[in-house]
Amino acid sequence: MSDSPGKLKLGALVALVVGSMIGGGIFSLPQNMAASAGVGAVLIGWAITAVGMLTLAFVFQTLANRKPDLDGGVYAYAKAGFGDYMGFSSAWGYWISAWLGNVGYFVLLFSTLGYFFPVFGEGNTPAAVIGASLLLWAVHVLVLRGIKEAAFINLVTTVAKVVPLLLFALICLFAFRLDVFSADIWALGTPELGSVMNQVRNMMLVTVWVFIGIEGASIFSSRAEKRADVGKATVIGFITVLLFLVLVNVLSLGVMTQPELAKLQNPSMAAVLEHVVGHWGAVLISVGLIISLLGALLSWVLLCAEILFAAAKDHTMPEFLRRENANQVPANALWLTNAMVQIFLVITLFSNSTYLSLIYLATSMILVPYLWSAAYAFLLAWRSETYEQALAERKKDLLIGGIALLYAIWLLYAGGVKYLLLSALLYAPGAILFAKAKREVGKPIFTRLEKLIFAAVVVGALVAAYGLYDGFLTL
Q: What is the pLDDT of residue 3?
A: 46
User: What range does the domain containing 353 cover?
Assistant: 10-419
Whether the CA torsion 432, 434, 438, 444 is positive or negative: it is: negative
Q: Up-side HSE of residue 106: CA atoms within 13 Å toward CB?
A: 35
Q: Which of 248, 243, 47 is nearest to 167 (CA)?
A: 248
Q: What is the pLDDT of residue 77?
A: 93
Q: Is residue 436 part of a domain?
A: no
- What is the distance between the alpha carbons of residues 58 and 231, in angstroms, rounded to a whole number? 8
Beta carbons of 229 and 13 less than 8 angstroms apart: yes
Beta carbons of 225 and 41 less than 8 angstroms apart: no
Q: Which of 386, 419, 417 is nearest to 401 (CA)?
A: 386
- What is the distance between the alpha carbons of residues 7 and 3, in angstroms, rounded to a whole number? 7
- What is the distance between the alpha carbons of residues 207 and 20, in angstroms, rounded to a whole number? 14
Q: Is residue 153 part of a domain?
A: yes
Residue-level length of the chain:
475
The CA-to-CA distance between both ends of the chain, in Å, stands at: 42
* Cis previous bond, 330, omega within 30: no
Whether the CA torsion 351, 354, 355, 358 is positive or negative: it is: negative
- What is the distance between the alpha carbons of residues 127 and 117, in angstroms, rounded to a whole number? 10
Return phi, psi of residue 8, to 5°. -95, 130
- What is the distance between the alpha carbons of residues 67 and 411, in angstroms, rounded to a whole number? 26
Angle, CA of 162, 283 and 255, to the nearest 5°: 75
187: which DSSP letter?
-
443 exposed, middle or buried (CB, 10 Å; 0-12, 13-18, 19+)? exposed
Contacts of 358 (CB under 8 A, 6+ apart): 100, 101, 103, 104, 107
Calculate the alpha carbon distances from 452 to 11, 74, 316, 340, 373 in Å. Answer: 44, 23, 19, 29, 21
Q: Is residue 196 part of a domain?
A: yes
Q: Helix crossing, 355-383 with 25-34: angle to 10°?
A: 100
Q: 205-223 as b/e, with b when 16 or more CB fall inside 10 Å? A: bbbbbbbbbbbbbbbbbbb
Q: Is residue 85 part of a domain?
A: yes
Q: Which of 415, 337, 333 is nearest to 371 (CA)?
A: 415
48: which DSSP letter?
H
Query: Looking at the 3D structure of the chain, how many domains does it have?
Result: 1
The C-alpha R_g of the chain, in whole angstroms, comes to 22
Q: Is residue 455 part of a domain?
A: no
- pLDDT values of the chain reduced to their tens digit, one per residue, 475 residues: 334 556 888 988 888 888 778 877 899 899 989 999 999 999 999 999 999 999 998 998 899 889 988 877 688 999 999 999 999 999 999 999 989 989 988 988 998 898 889 999 888 889 999 999 999 999 999 889 887 777 777 778 888 888 899 999 999 999 999 999 999 999 988 889 999 999 998 888 788 878 887 887 787 777 888 888 988 998 899 999 999 999 999 999 999 999 999 999 878 999 999 999 999 999 999 998 988 888 888 878 888 898 899 899 989 999 999 999 998 889 999 999 999 999 999 988 887 666 777 778 888 888 889 999 999 999 999 999 999 888 889 999 999 999 999 999 998 888 888 888 999 999 999 999 999 999 999 999 999 999 999 999 999 999 999 998 998 887 7
Q: What is the CATH number of the domain that holds 348?
A: 1.20.1740.10
- What is the distance between the alpha carbons of residues 79 and 87, in angstroms, rounded to a whole number? 4
Q: Is residue 450 part of a domain?
A: no
- What is the distance between the alpha carbons of residues 41 and 325, in angstroms, rounded to a whole number? 50
Q: Is residue 119 part of a domain?
A: yes
318: which DSSP letter?
-
Q: Which of 366, 380, 469, 461 is nearest to 422 (CA)?
A: 461
Q: What is the pLDDT of residue 1?
A: 35
Q: Is residue 431 part of a domain?
A: no
3-state secondary structure at position 8: strand
Beta carbons of 245 and 29 less than 8 angstroms apart: yes
- What is the distance between the alpha carbons of residues 24 and 103, in angstroms, rounded to a whole number? 12
Contacts of 239 (CB under 8 A, 6+ apart): none
Q: Which of 199, 235, 201, 194 is nearest to 217 (CA)?
A: 235
Q: What is the pLDDT of residue 353?
A: 62
Q: Which of 82, 66, 36 is nearest to 228 (CA)?
A: 66
